[in-house]
Amino acid sequence: MKMLMLMLLLLSINFMFMKHPLSMGFILLMQTILSSLTCSLNLSSYFTSYILFLIFIGGMLILFMYMSSIASNEKFFFSMKLMLLNMLIVIIMMMLNNMDFNSQNMIMLINYYNEHYNYFMNKLYTFPSGNITLMMIIYLLFTLIIVSNIIKLKNLPLRSN
């Protein structure tokens, strides 16, 4: 768990120094995978992390499509500063991993959250908020059908030159 969080921190720091959009997308993909792993370890149900992962991957595919059409011929440049920064952070992470932290409070917090997790998920689909959730699902489906019909009528993508 601690290593996952430290790897997320390392990827976040690397994201700030990236200049190429495809390398930024790769780091975002790795952060998505690590975030869903962290979420699945903390919750008693893997369903939330699985749905979160699928939503992020769908968005990432759209971003990859746009960025590969915009920046198709740009070259990757190797940054020595970024490599040294990564090595320094990995060494610090290894040193911190050997230290023993008091994680009893964290374990108690995770257990408390897992006990009340099902209650929070049930609140999402009960009477007052269930109608809003259902309306959002119907709205998204309706929007998807309209956009696909517009594309089908014109026989070209929405964004064309």
The CA-to-CA distance between both ends of the chain, in Å, stands at 47
Tens-digit pLDDT profile for the chain (161 aa)? Answer: 777 877 888 888 888 888 877 788 888 889 989 988 888 887 767 777 888 888 888 888 887 877 777 766 767 777 777 778 878 877 877 777 666 555 666 667 666 666 666 555 566 667 777 788 788 889 989 998 988 888 777 776 656 55
Residue ranges of domains in the chain: 2-106
User: If 0-12 CB within 10 Å is exposed, 13-18 middle and 19+ buried, where does residue 36 land?
Assistant: buried
DSSP string, 6-71: HHHHHHHHHHHH--SHHHHHHHHHHHHHHHHHHHHHHSS-SHHHHHHHHHHHHHHHHHHHHHHHHS
The whole-model pTM stands at: 0.57
Give the residue from 16, 52, 24 showing the smallest Cα distance to 36: 52
